[in-house]
Amino acid sequence: MATSKTEIEDNLEGFTKRRFADGETNEDWDWGDKLFNGDETYKCPTYVHKTPPCQGSCPSGEDIRGWLNIVRGIEQPTGDMDWKEYAFRRSTDANPFPSTMGRVCPAPCQDGCNRNEVEDFVGINAVEQFIGDSALDAGLSFTAGSTESGKKVAIIGGGPAGLSAAYQLRRMGHAATVFDNHAELGGMMRYGIPGYRMPRDVLDGEIGRIINMGVEVKTNTNIGTDITMEQLEKDFDAVLFALGAQSGRGLPIDGFEESENCISGVAFLEAFNDGRMKAVSGRIVVVGGGDTSIDVASVARRLGHIKNMNEKDYPEYVVLGHTAHDVMDVANKEGAEVTLISRQPLENMNAAQHELDDATREGVDIQGSITPVCVIRGEDGRATALRVAKLDYSSGKPEVIEGSEFDIEADLIVSAIGQSGSFEGMDGIANERGLIDADKHFQIPNKPGFFACGDIVRPHLLTTVIGQGSITAETIDHFFKQEEIGKRPKVDVHHFDLLEKLEEVDKAPEHFEPTDDDRAIDAGRRGTSQEGKSVGGFAVHNFEDRAAQEIITNEELFLGHFEKEARHLRTENVPDAEEVLGHFQERMAGLSEEDTIAEAKRCMSCGMCFECDNCVIFCPQDAVLRTPKDEATMGRYVYTDYDRCIGCHICADVCPTGYIKMGLGDH
C-alpha cells in the first residue's frame, strides 16, 4: 500500500540538513511538493559500488566492510557454514593473520573510517581479533589449491611477508619452501614484538595453519652460506627474497659505533624475544619514535635492572650471545629509568598514539623535538650519556636551537631509527641502502625469476608487507604462466564482486554476449544495457562497480541516518609505573561475541547497500522495490521500476551508504 504524504513528511523530520553546513539550508522548501512533484530530471537511480576508506587505507587490502557485514548478519553464509567461519574466510582472503593483526596493527583503516564524522571510528581491530581468535578456538584450517602446478618457489625469510606469499602461492597450487635463519618462523612478529602484545600461542597457531597447507620449512638455514644462491636457482623455478631488514641502524653521531653499550633496537628486541635478555642496565635512552622504539622502552621498563650487575650480564653482551644470569639477582630487580627521544614533535611521532599513551603510563619519559648530537664516553670507552639538542619546527623544518644542548645520562643507548638487510653470500642483490630494489610488481629488475617483498624492499608496517606478499604471489603466478602483468587497479585491494556473490548463492545471471547496440556493463555479465533497462534474465537492477577506481567519502553518505553510539572497547591490561616491573601478561583482552556483533553494527557499510529500506520507504512513486527473496543477495537487495521513476532523487538523498547515484539516462 502506498505511503501517505503525512507519513512521509513525519519520517523525513531531521533529514533536511543532511548535506549542508550551518546557514546554507533552505527552510522554505515544501517537502510535500518536493516528494510528489519531483524535480523532473532526466536521471534515474543506478546502484554504484565503491570502496570504503577503511579498505582503501588497509595496506593488506582486506575486505573490511565485507567481513563486518558478515559479523553483523547482513551478509549470510551459504550451506551449513557458521557466520564466524564465513567472516574468517572473507578476512583471510587477503590476510592470513587476523588474530595477530587484530592485536598489533596500528590500524590505518580506523584512521580512514567515515564513522569518525559521526562520533568515533569502528573498532575494526577488535572485531578482527574476535574473528581470528574464534577461528583458532574452532581449529579452522586453510586448504591448498586443488591442482598442483608443479612449480616450486624458494622463499628466503619466514616473516610476515614470506609467510603471506607462501599462503597465497599454496592456494594457487604452487609449491613453496621457506628458508629462515632463526629456530622458529615469524620474523619480526616473533623476534620484534614482545609476547605481551603478541601471545606466542596465537602466533604459532596462525603460522601453523599456513605450514599445514603443505609448505616446506627449513629453519636455522642461511641462504648464501649454508645453501648457495647457485644451488637455490638450480632447485627452484622462482626465488622470493623476503628476508626482512634484520640489521638495525646505529646513530650517525660521534661515539656511537665506538661504544659497546650502544646497540640497535632490533638486536635488543631479538635478544629479549628469544629469551636471552633477563634484565637491563639502570638508565636506558632509546632514540626513535616508531613502534620499535616504543617496544624497546616498554620491554626495558618491564625487565628492570639489577644492582651490581656482572659485566657479562650487561645488555650489550647478552645481545652478543651471553645468557648467564644469577637467579637471586634477577629476583631482586629494580625499575629501570627509561627515556625515549624523537626528532619529531610528540604529536607527529610515527608510533600510534595509544602506544605512546601506554608507554607514558608505564613510566617511560618521552621527549619530542630532540636530536642526538654525540655520545659522551667514559675513560673505559663506554657511553655514559647522550648529548642532545632541542629542535625548532617553526620554519617548517627542524632547526637546532642554539645553546639548547644537554646531556641525558645513560648506561645503555638504543638506536631504533631504521633497519637494513644482511646479504652475506648474496652478491649483487643489495642496493646502496642495504635493501633490495624491486618494481611495483615486486620483480627484481633484470633478474627474471627473482622477486622481493617486505621490509627488505622498504621497512614498513606488518600489514604492508603482508599485502606485498599477496601481490608478489600473483606476480609469480603470472611469471609461471608466462602471462603479461597488467596494470594493477587504482584502488588495489580485495573487492566485493557481485558476480562472484551471485555464483556463490547459485543465482548467477545467464551468459550474455553484447552486440554493438547492447553495450552492457562488464561485457554483459553484470547485467544492464546502456539504456539502463534490465536485459532478460541477466540482472534485476542496474549495478556499476567503481570499487577499483573510487573510494567513497563521507560527503557522499547520508550521515543523518546514523545515531551516535559509543565504541565498544576492549579491556587493556596496561600497568602503571608502579606495576610494570615483571608485568608480561597479555595486554589486550578481546571483546565478547555480543559486543563484537554490536561493534560491527556501527559500520556504515560505505559504498554498499546494507538493506536499511530507506529508498523503499521514501520513494513517492513506489518505484523502488525490494528484490524478490529468491533472487536477492548481498549487493542486490532493491531495484527500480523505471516506468514509475520520475527522477526526484529522494532515494539517493536518503541512502545512508552512498550506494544509490542519480546517473542513469532518460526515464
Q: Which range is least confidently modeled, 363-367, 407-411, 615-619, 659-663?
A: 659-663
The single residue listed with the C-alpha cell 553518505 is: 557
3 state DSSP class of 230: helix
558: how many CB neighbours lie within 10 A of its CB? 20
Q: Which range is least confidently modeled, 16-25, 355-364, 557-566?
A: 16-25
Q: How confident is residue 344, by pLDDT bands cut at 50, 70 and 90?
A: very high
Question: Any idea what the Cα angle at residue 294 is, between residues 289 and 300, rounded to 5°?
Answer: 130
- The DSSP element (H or E) to which 389 belongs, if any, is strand 383-392
Q: pLDDT value at position 517?
A: 52
Beta strands in 219-347 (DSSP E): 238-241, 247-248, 262-264, 283-287, 337-341
Mean pLDDT of 368-385: 96
Superfamily, domain 249-418: FAD/NAD(P)-binding domain (3.50.50.60)
Residue 383 CA to residue 256 CA, distance in Å, equals 8
* pLDDT tens digits, 528-577: 333 333 434 555 468 899 999 999 999 999 999 999 999 999 998 999 99
- For the purposes of burial, counting CB atoms within 10 Å of the CB of 387, is it exposed (0-12), middle (13-18) or buried (19 or more)? middle
The answer to whether 45 touches 640, Cβ cutoff 8 Å, is yes
Question: Per the structure block, which three cell numbers stand in for 564?
Answer: 551516535
3 state DSSP class of 420: strand
**CB-side neighbour CA atoms (13 Å) of 167:** 26
The single residue listed with the C-alpha cell 536521471 is: 43
Beta bridge partners of 372: 388
> What is the β-pairing status of strands 283-287 and 262-264?
unpaired
How much of the chain exceeds pLDDT 90, in percent? 71
Question: Per the structure block, which three cell numbers stand in for 270?
Answer: 631479538
The single residue listed with the C-alpha cell 572473507 is: 90
Mean pLDDT of 259-286: 92
Q: pLDDT value at position 538?
A: 56
Tell me: pLDDT of 17 over 80: no
- For the chain, domain boundaries: 5-37, 152-246+421-481, 249-418
> What is the β-pairing status of strands 412-415 and 660-662?
unpaired
Residue 263 CA to residue 314 CA, distance in Å, equals 12
Question: Per the structure block, which three cell numbers stand in for 173?
Answer: 597450487
* pLDDT tens digits, 296-336: 999 999 999 887 777 777 888 888 775 545 544 555 678 89
Tell me: pLDDT of 29 over 80: no
The single residue listed with the C-alpha cell 533536511 is: 16
pTM across the whole model: 0.87
Mean pLDDT of 376-388: 95
Mean pLDDT of 582-607: 96
Residue 390 CA to residue 41 CA, distance in Å, equals 62
Mean pLDDT of 580-597: 94
Q: pLDDT value at position 623?
A: 93
Phi/psi of residue 302, nearest 5 degrees: -75, -40
Q: How confident is residue 4, by pLDDT bands cut at 50, 70 and 90?
A: very low
Can you give 536-552 as a three-state secondary structure string?
CCCCCCCEEECCCCCEC
How much of the chain exceeds pLDDT 70, in percent? 87
Q: pLDDT value at position 664?
A: 61
Q: How confident is residue 63, by pLDDT bands cut at 50, 70 and 90?
A: very high
CA dihedral 124, 127, 130, 134 (to 10 degrees): -110
Question: Per the structure block, which three cell numbers stand in for 466?
Answer: 603482508
Q: pLDDT value at position 15?
A: 45
Residue 525 CA to residue 511 CA, distance in Å, equals 7
* pLDDT tens digits, 197-212: 999 999 999 999 999 9
The answer to whether 596 touches 130, Cβ cutoff 8 Å, is yes
Tell me: pLDDT of 5 over 90: no
Tell me: pLDDT of 266 over 80: yes
Residue 53 CA to residue 46 CA, distance in Å, equals 21
Beta bridge partners of 399: 392
Q: pLDDT value at position 326?
A: 52
Q: How confident is residue 277, by pLDDT bands cut at 50, 70 and 90?
A: confident
3 state DSSP class of 472: helix
* pLDDT tens digits, 432-441: 888 999 999 9
The answer to whether 95 touches 500, Cβ cutoff 8 Å, is no
Mean pLDDT of 622-636: 91
Closest listed residue to residue 281, CA positions, set 296, 295, 294, 293: 296
Edge-first strand order for the sheet with 365-367 is 262-264, 412-415, 283-287, 337-341, 365-367
Tally: H helices and E strands in the chain = 22, 23
* pLDDT tens digits, 143-179: 999 999 999 999 999 999 999 999 999 999 999 999 9
Mean pLDDT of 438-467: 95
Inter-CA distances, 156 with 60, 248, 456, 475, 638, Å? 20, 19, 11, 17, 50
Q: For residue 160, give the amino acid letter.
A: P
Quote the DSSP letter at residue 332: T
Q: pLDDT value at position 247?
A: 85
Tell me: pLDDT of 282 over 60: yes
Tell me: pLDDT of 651 over 50: yes
Mean pLDDT of 394-415: 95
Q: pLDDT value at position 28?
A: 55
Same fold, 152-246+421-481 and 249-418: yes
Q: How confident is residue 19, by pLDDT bands cut at 50, 70 and 90?
A: very low
Residue 136 CA to residue 263 CA, distance in Å, equals 37
Options 3.30.420.40, 3.50.50.60, 1.20.120.1810, 3.40.50.2300; which CATH number does 152-246+421-481 get?
A: 3.50.50.60
Residue 422 CA to residue 454 CA, distance in Å, equals 14
Q: Which range is least confidently modeled, 53-57, 60-64, 125-129, 310-314?
A: 310-314
Q: For residue 189, give the amino acid letter.
A: M
Q: pLDDT value at position 30?
A: 57
The single residue listed with the C-alpha cell 602484545 is: 197
Inter-CA distances, 596 with 54, 120, 634, Å? 18, 16, 21
Residue 376 CA to residue 388 CA, distance in Å, equals 10
114 or 329: whose pLDDT is higher? 114
523 or 95: whose pLDDT is higher? 95
The answer to whether 46 touches 63, Cβ cutoff 8 Å, is no
Mean pLDDT of 367-375: 97
> Sign of torsion, CA 40 41 43 45?
negative
3 state DSSP class of 392: strand
Helix axis angle for 124-138 and 83-92, nearest 10°, is 110
Residue 371 CA to residue 386 CA, distance in Å, equals 10
Quote the DSSP letter at residue 592: P
Q: pLDDT value at position 308?
A: 72
The answer to whether 456 touches 504, Cβ cutoff 8 Å, is no
CB neighbour list of residue 417: distance below 8 Å, 6 or more residues apart: 249, 251, 287, 288
Closest listed residue to residue 539, CA positions, set 632, 629, 625: 632
Tell me: pLDDT of 347 over 80: yes
Mean pLDDT of 371-386: 96
Mean pLDDT of 508-531: 50
State the chain's maximal CA–CA distance in angstroms. Answer: 93
Question: Per the structure block, which three cell numbers stand in for 191?
Answer: 623476534
Arithmetic mean of pLDDT over the chain: 88
346: how many CB neighbours lie within 10 A of its CB? 14
If phi > 0 it is left, if psi is from -120 to 50 it is alpha, else beta; for residue 461 that is beta
Tell me: pLDDT of 460 over 70: yes
